[in-house]
A and B are shown apart, each in its own frame.
Chain A
Amino acid sequence: MDKNSHFKRYLKLDLLPTPWCPGCGNGIALKTICQAFDELDIPKQGTVVVSGIGCSGRSAGFFDLDSVHSVHGRAIPVAEGIKYANDALNVVVVSGDGDLLGIGGNHLMHAIRRNTNITVICYANEIYGMTGGQVSPTTPHNIKTLTTPQGNPDYPTDVQSLFKHHNCFFARTTAYHLNHMKKCFLEALKFKGFSFVEARTMCIVNYGRRLGYKNSNEMLLHYKEFYKINDNAEELAQNEIGILKSTAVS
């Protein structure tokens, strides 16, 4: 069997290569999404992928199904409009942390409140990569970026806290933990209600190399060493990845 059949099934191969830099983690997430789609046998007709703006925003255009590339920060309300218009569609948002948590943060908060039955996959690379490397909502404290030359004075958004009192799905995973990433995507896609996966993907060109990483492999090894899998947690610690399904009553 062709071990690449999943992405041959779901991607427009003639549009490759992607515009992403060598060593970028987005491709890992994109391929893993295809694996999850394939495993669940998600039909191409009847599925819509929506993106916002940024490196991650270019994901939607590569799917061999109807897709929408909206403006910066607005992928979630576009996806909600699609879902409310036609409940039979599988609607998946693929976008970045700057897009979903920064400029579009308000929409995320309210999509959680509405518990709209869509899946949001967030490539969280800790940086605004496409614009050259500015501080983003997931950049850790003290990290130097183009706009925080003295180090980030703020702390990153704790996305999971938004989900605390809602009957939604939250997961965190990384591009190193491939099986875990696939598991998170599968569970999120199967979840009835709003599901969100914070997928840590590495940006070597506009982030990692400035922090002293020699290549993206070193960033992956950092994920390996730093993150521990904890799929039974009620709350994930900063160095934990795992799945939280809120037990809050809807």
Chain B
Amino acid sequence: MPKQLFQGNEAIVMAAEVAGLKFFAGYPITPASEIIHALVNKEHIKALQMEDEIASINAIIGASLAGLKAMTATSGPGFSLMQESIGLAHMMEVPLVIVNVQRVGPSTGMPTLPAQGDVIQCIHGSHGDYFPIVFYPNSVSELYQYTVAAFNAAEESMSPVILLSDGYISHLYETIVPHRDFTIRPRSRPPLGTGNRHFTGLSHEESVPQTSDVDNYRRLITRFREKQLMAARRHNYYEYRECGKETDTLLISYGALSRVAYYFKNDFALYRPIRMFPVVDEIKSIAPRYKRLLMMEMNMGQYAHEIERILHRDIEFIPILGGRIDLKEIKQKIYGQE
């Protein structure tokens, strides 16, 4: 199959189609709108523009329960609006894919420069405890690959899976091979209209709400956590590059910024999480090989704090804020004044 030139958001659409997407609901927002633009032209996919992101997430919850693989795509402001129903989808165990093409925040920020400010929102944005699977590719071909993985992980975990992107990666044009050589997971439960099940955001046992049974609630949340970890283990995606020469430094980055990290491959070892959450276990065996952990991300240290917590050690952190990725500036921050 020949290579073809595609935009990041277009790659998401093509991969979603390969993965079996049948229903999409979304609301216009830069830099994610190309996804709905492409989907409304697909013959076998129902793509709706709803009145807001809240309606969008709830419509795909309904569609997924009714039997169709469903997705929505948004950016930070819309992702914030969806949070309550993301919790609902975890409680009702609804497979979904939510694409979040990140932009600068908080609030309207700087429309629409790229950022990585929604990393923690992915896992703590809704109230209560839930354990989402989150992927964050760093190229157009990876967006293609991990969109399919997101749909599969959603069915395996019966939960909403988040595909993070950013304004850079989603608007990037690169050549990819749009192959169809994937194992595609079938739907994980019979559609609505075939039984007498009750899907509820209340704590429940099987189909029955249990609003005062504390032990049942504890079992439910424990089961969710185990289920998510088990499903995530099938998708252990990360990139680790040892350095050609002796180094005591591991440079950690992800998404758009990790493309800049490759520039430092001759000086440092590189680590890049692709499955952002649950955090890939391998970091625990890789990090102890290095005396110095250096991390850069396009926020004030959201993922660095998470890694520090897991490794129980400090990280030298370089924030790259405001959407500007300037190699000269980054070199200066890494090597000091030269």
Interface residues of A (CB under 8 A from B): 12, 15, 44-48, 50, 58, 60-61, 63-71, 74, 77-86, 88-89, 106-107, 109-110
Q: Establish whether residues B193 and A110, one from each chain, have CB atoms under 8 Å apart when the complex forms.
A: no
Q: Is B198 an interface residue (CB 8 A)?
A: yes
Kindly specify which of B45-53, B168-176, B300-308 makes contact with the partner chain: B45-53
| Known contacts A48-B193, A70-B88, A107-B51, A82 near B199 by CB under 8 Å | no
Interface digits, B178-202 against A, CB 8 Å rule (1 contact, 0 not)?
0000000000000111111111111
B contact patch SS: mixed
For B195, the chain A residues whose CB sits under 8 A away are: 45, 65-66
Q: Are B66 and A110 closer than 8 Å at their CB atoms?
A: no
Tier of interface size on chain B:
35 or more
Partner-contacting stretch, out of B57-65, B137-145, B326-334: B57-65
CB distance from B11 to the nearest CB of A (A): 25
A69-B193 in contact (CB<8A): no
CB neighbours (8 Å) of B325 from chain A are none
With A78-B58, A86-B66, A86-B191 given, is the CB distance from A106 to B85 under 8 Å? no
Q: For residue A58, which residue of chain B has the nearest CB?
A: B209
Can you list 17 pairs linking A and B with CB atoms under 8 Å apart? Answer: A45-B194, A48-B192, A60-B200, A66-B192, A66-B193, A68-B199, A69-B199, A69-B200, A70-B88, A77-B54, A79-B62, A81-B66, A84-B23, A85-B46, A89-B193, A106-B52, A107-B54
Which of A12, A81, A109 is within 8 Å of B61, CB to CB?
A81
**Contact B63 A81, beta carbon cutoff 8 Å:** yes
User: Does B194 contact A84, Cβ atoms closer than 8 Å?
Assistant: no
Q: Is the C-beta of B68 less than 8 angstroms from some C-beta in chain A?
A: yes
Min CB gap A89→B, angstroms: 5
Other-chain residue from A45, A80, A89 in contact with B59 (beta carbon distance below 8 A): A80
- CB-defined contacts of B17 to chain A, threshold 8 Å: none
Contact B201 A110 (CB under 8 A): no
Interface presence of B25 (CB below 8 A)? yes
- Is the pair B201, A65 in contact by a Cβ cutoff of 8 Å? no
A125 to chain B, nearest CB (A): 21
Partner of A107 from B55, B67, B70, B85 at Cβ < 8 Å: B55
Whether A85 contacts B209 by the Cβ 8 Å rule is: no
Cβ-neighbour of A81 out of B60, B87, B200, B202 (below 8 A)? B60
Contact A64 B63 (CB under 8 A): no
Q: Which listed residue, A48, A71, A84, A109, touches B201 by the CB 8 Å rule?
A: A71
CA distance A88 to B191 in the complex (A): 12
Are B198 and A69 within 8 A (Cβ)?
Answer: yes
Within 8 A of A (CB), among B197-251: 197-202, 208-209
Task: Check B48–A66 contact: CB distance below 8 A.
Answer: no
B267 adjacent to chain A (CB < 8 Å): no
Tell whether A110 pairs with B192 under 8 Å between CB atoms, given A68-B62, A74-B85, A82-B62: no
Q: Which among A67, A69, A85, A106 is the interface contact of B62 at CB below 8 angstroms?
A: A85
A83→B88 CA distance, assembly (Å): 19
A85 touches B67 (CB 8 A): yes
Q: Given A68-B200, A70-B61, list of 7 further CB < 8 A pairs?
A: A45-B194, A61-B208, A65-B196, A68-B62, A74-B58, A81-B60, A82-B63
**Most chain B CB atoms below 10 A, which of A60, A77, A106, A107:** A77
Which one of B48, B55, B209 has the highest number of Cβ atoms from chain A below 10 Å of its Cβ?
B55
CA–CA, A90 and B61, complex, Å: 17
Q: A60-B198, A70-B58, A107-B55 are in contact. Are A89 and B192 (CB under 8 A)?
A: yes
Contacts of B55 on A, CB cut-off 8 Å? 74, 77, 80, 106-107, 110
Cα distance A109–B51 when bound, in Å?
Answer: 9
A15 CA / B64 CA spacing, docked (Å): 27
- Nearest residue (CB) in B for A72 is B84
**CA of A65 to CA of B207, assembled, Å:** 11
**Complex CA–CA separation, A119 to B196 (angstroms):** 19
Cross-chain contact A61 with B48 (CB below 8 angstroms) = no
Known: A60-B198, A70-B201. Contact between A84 and B191, CB under 8 A? no
Residues of B within 8 A of A85 (CB): 22-23, 46, 62-64, 66-68, 70, 191
CB atoms of A84 and B199 under 8 A apart: no
